[in-house]
Amino acid sequence: MHEDSRRGSRGHATWPPVTLLVLAICGITVTADGYDVVVYGAVIPSLLHEPGWHLTPAGAGLIGSIALVGMLIGATTVGTLTDTLGRRRMLIGCLIWFSVMTGLCATATSPEVFGLFRFLAGLGLGGVLPTASALVGEYSHPKTRNLVFAALFSGFPLGGIIAALTGILVLPRFAWQVMFLVGLLPLLLVLPLAIRSLPESMTFLRAKGRHAEADTIADRWNITSEDAQQGVPTPKEQRPSGTDSGSMSPVRALFSRSYVVATACFLAMTCLCLFMIYGFNTWLPEIMRRAGYSAGSSLGFLLVFNIGAVVGTLIISLAADRFGSKPIITTTYLVSSVAVTLLSLRLPTTVLYAAVALGGVGAMGTQSFVLAYVSKHYPARVGATAMGWTLGFGRLGSMLAPPLLGLIIGAGLAFQWNFYALAVPGVLGALLVGLVPRTPQTAAGYGGVGGTARPLAGQT
């Protein structure tokens, strides 16, 4: 890196140009991902009244879960393949796949065909976050990693904001199909830039023996040999006892005795977090409509939820980089539970909007901090696999939320019961945070073993 760009610990740049480039491309891709997920919640009221479809709330929840089954398969499969085939290639492939399948949803003539396209889109959507997270994590400095991940994951609620605003403008004037045609825009906006400029993972290239390509990236972005070497795994004899995952496959390393407890905690934490996120984004407009608000006001709540997620997450991430992941994640989990409980009360509209915004901070903010925690906990060479499995298992929570809340709505229960169902995961998640052990290298007094440090990372 340029000497004058070094601002971080021990002279390492915390925001070099390559970090900003990778974050921008991956962030826009995650924004498109967020739009695609939230757009379904925005059009559910329209789909429930689509002539000839005879769609019920339970059926709408089932379609939402079908898409999430695709995301689960995509996250675990793509996340694992990424560490084998390359992060750049898989991210671009996922972007093309889910954009095309989202556009095809506009051609659906029945709930069955619509559900099929949502499932196929989910395969690509599921692969975006683990791949983008691993790539951004590698090209970020550990001193700012929580902020970088907050910025990356803010793309998801930003996509939700765009979906809500688009719904407010489009749905009163045009058919719901237009909402899915908008999903084709990433092919024009970000795909050309990604193909031209997105660098491959240097850790991946060196692990595959493609040192010349890694050197080319280093020369292009002025990454010094010292920086690059920090992404190379430490020799076996320098690793603390019990942490020899270097000879294991990435999946086996996740469940080795050194990491199995942390892996189980991260899987469960993400499952609970995604239950809240997808419960909100899928059903919040319909729940608020049944609580007596107009269609426009109901979409307004979805808009505020995602705005709160973006603004609050970026602010809190500054504290996370200073105070550490555990206390911040525990706090945001509890904030989400308190906020959701407030929504079950008959409060002034202004107070409800504030509670919805806090719910966005608690649910989506927690997820971004959990991903940053995962990024720092595992060796770099298994980073994408760790992200894929964490988000893939988490999809079980996102798959459960739409049909469960749909059944509650379809059963005619009071709308408050939906919020009670969304409050419990926050409490359970806060309890799980305390069970995550320290990284094996930290416990043994090592600063960066097994490739935990990233190419642009100074020791912490």
Q: What is the helix (H) or strand (E) element at residue 152, kind and residue range?
A: helix 145-153
* Percent over 70 (pLDDT), the chain: 83
Minimal CA–CA distance to 124: which of 186, 178, 59, 170? Answer: 186
- The mean pLDDT value for 186-201 works out to 87
CA dist 186 and 215 (Å) reads: 30
Q: Which distant-in-sequence residues (6+ apart) come within 8 Å of 398 by Cβ?
A: 68, 71, 274, 275, 277, 278
C-alpha span between 347 and 421 (Å, rounded): 19
Report which of 387, 355, 361 is spatially closest to residue 374, judged by C-alpha positions.
387
Residue 385 clears pLDDT 80, i.e. is over it: no
The residue to which tokens 């989506």 are assigned = 364
Picking from 276, 292, 375, the residue whose alpha carbon sits closest to that of residue 26 is 375
Per residue in 351-372, pLDDT (tens digit) is 888 888 888 888 888 888 888 7
- Do residues 381 and 233 touch, judged by C-beta distance below 8 A? yes
Cβ neighbours for 60, distance < 8 A, ≥ 6 positions apart: 44, 47, 48, 402, 406
pLDDT at 296: 60
Average of per-residue pLDDT across 242-259: 69
7-16, 39-48, 134-143, 405-414: lowest mean pLDDT where?
Answer: 7-16
Q: Is the pTM of this model over 0.75?
A: no
- Show the tokens assigned to 131: 């791949």
Structure confidence at residue 247 (pLDDT): 55
* Per-residue pLDDT reduced to its tens digit, 263-297: 999 999 999 998 988 888 777 877 777 777 665 66
Query: What's the pLDDT tens digit per position in 73-98?
Result: 887 787 677 767 888 888 898 889 98
DSSP 8-state code for residue 105: G
